[in-house]
Amino acid sequence: MDQDQFLKLLNKEIQGTLTAEEKLLLERLMAANPDNGALYHFIRNKYRTQPSTNEKAEKAFDQLWQKLGDTNLTDTVPKRSVFKSRYYLYLVAASLMIFFLAGIWWYSSHESSIEYKIQYSSGKGEKRILNLPDGSTVWLNGDSKLYLAVDFNKKERRVKLEGEGFFAVAKNKQHPFIVSYNDSEVKVLGTKFNIRAYQDENKTQTSLVEGAIELKSKKNGETYRMVPGEKLTIASNGKVHPAKDKSSTIMVKRTALTVQTGEKMPSEALWMENKLSFEADPMSIVASKISKWYNRNVVIDNTELEKITFTGTMENYSLEMALKTILTANPTLHIREENESIILY
């Protein structure tokens, strides 16, 4: 815990955002642990690119080794050369962690400083086609929102998505198009892609139909380059808000887009043709799609249903027909209505 706190304070000190109280705490942590002091000077010198970095690290190591030699643990510690290599490995790993934290800090602070004003929205069971000022077109699926930055199309074309949208971006090399959603962002110059990023679902899906995009994930700090016909799914271990749970596991999966028999568009984009499509979706996603498509509250009342998936496309189906189709494909599934909600169990 103290080490995590020390690294966070060191990161803030490097960024110049350390308060007076935090500075005192940082000094106390360095005084309590000589390794923290050595790491502090190592990182600070790394940023200043001073030639004395190695000398300070060497001196810090010698002091640490001497302290170990003064204890009764001399026979249990590794040889000096081995211990030294491990010590420097610790310094390098810690410095990399600082750079990683600095990158996350920049992403968060930069995103929070962006002001969005213009908003478009669609209700459950509703779809909208938007023509943006730059010539791009966006299709919004049900229960979705799109925000435009106040300086849209000046230096960049930045928007924020909540829900699902298909983007046909007009090419403009001087003004990159950037979509922020959940804990990720996509940067493009001109392309066609679909993003599904609902707040009540535990994963986001980015599907590239045409062109090329670069996806940055705030969850793990990674950048992914996508090619046409590819889908990137970023999910957590079943938690809707993984950012609030440090123990959550981030899972990234690349898959190919699937075009079902008789269709021209991949399954992820068929909603634009007013077709409700499922592609090996677990029942939680099936329930979410039905809820947003028909504007009815659909609830899962059996965790075992997550093991059941459904694939198929429905066009002009009533709610009753859609539910009956899913029941026919999954005989173990049961449905009941309760307080105007549809319960799957």
Are 136 and 257 members of one domain? yes
Residue 169 lies in domain? 114-261
Domain boundary among 77, 112, 147: 112
In the chain, the number of structural domains is 3
Are 246 and 128 members of one domain? yes
What is residue 10's predicted lDDT score, i.e. its pLDDT? 76
Q: Which helix (H) or strand (E) holds 200?
A: none
Are 329 and 294 members of one domain? yes
Q: Which of 5-9, 42-46, 177-181 has the highest mean pLDDT?
A: 177-181
The radius of gyration of the chain from alpha carbons, rounded to an integer in Å, stands at: 26
Q: Please indicate whether residue 3 or residue 76 has the higher confidence score (pLDDT).
A: 3
Are 78 and 25 members of one domain? yes
Task: Using pLDDT thresholds of 50, 70 and 90, give the confidence band for residue 183.
Answer: confident
| Burial class of residue 92, CB neighbours in 10 A (0-12, 13-18, 19+) | exposed
Are 80 and 210 members of one domain? no
- Domain annotation covers residue 88: yes
Residues 98-113: what's their mean pLDDT? 50
Are 235 and 301 members of one domain? no
Domain boundary among 261, 295, 330: 261
Give the chain's mean pLDDT.
80
Phi then psi for residue 94, to 5 deg, are: -65, -40
- Domain annotation covers residue 269: no
Task: Using pLDDT thresholds of 50, 70 and 90, give the confidence band for residue 21.
Answer: confident
CATH classification of the domain holding 230:
2.60.120.1440
What is residue 17's predicted lDDT score, i.e. its pLDDT? 79
- Domain annotation covers residue 267: no
Are 172 and 305 members of one domain? no
- Domain annotation covers residue 268: no
CB count in 10 Å sphere of residue 343: 17
What is residue 93's predicted lDDT score, i.e. its pLDDT? 53
**Has residue 182 got a pLDDT over 50?**
yes
Are 74 and 119 members of one domain? no
Q: Provide, rounded to the nearest whole percent, the portion of the chain with pLDDT above 90.
A: 48
Q: For residue 67, what are the CA distances in angstroms to 70, 74, 255? A: 5, 10, 53
Are 26 and 61 members of one domain? yes
What is residue 157's predicted lDDT score, i.e. its pLDDT? 96
- Domain annotation covers residue 266: no
What is residue 307's predicted lDDT score, i.e. its pLDDT? 85
CB count in 10 Å sphere of residue 258: 15
What is residue 247's predicted lDDT score, i.e. its pLDDT? 42
- Domain annotation covers residue 240: yes
Extract the tokens encoding 234: 């970023």
Beta carbons of 29 and 9 less than 8 angstroms apart: yes
**Has residue 67 got a pLDDT over 60?**
no
Q: How far is it, in rounded angstroms, from Cα 195 to Cα 33?
A: 47
Domain boundary among 201, 234, 261: 261
Task: Using pLDDT thresholds of 50, 70 and 90, give the confidence band for residue 245.
Answer: very low
Are 130 and 103 members of one domain? no
**Has residue 57 got a pLDDT over 80?**
no
Are 134 and 78 members of one domain? no
- What amino acid occupies position 113? S
Tens digits of per-residue pLDDT, 201-241? 989 999 999 999 999 988 788 899 999 999 999 986 543 33
Are 11 and 31 members of one domain? yes
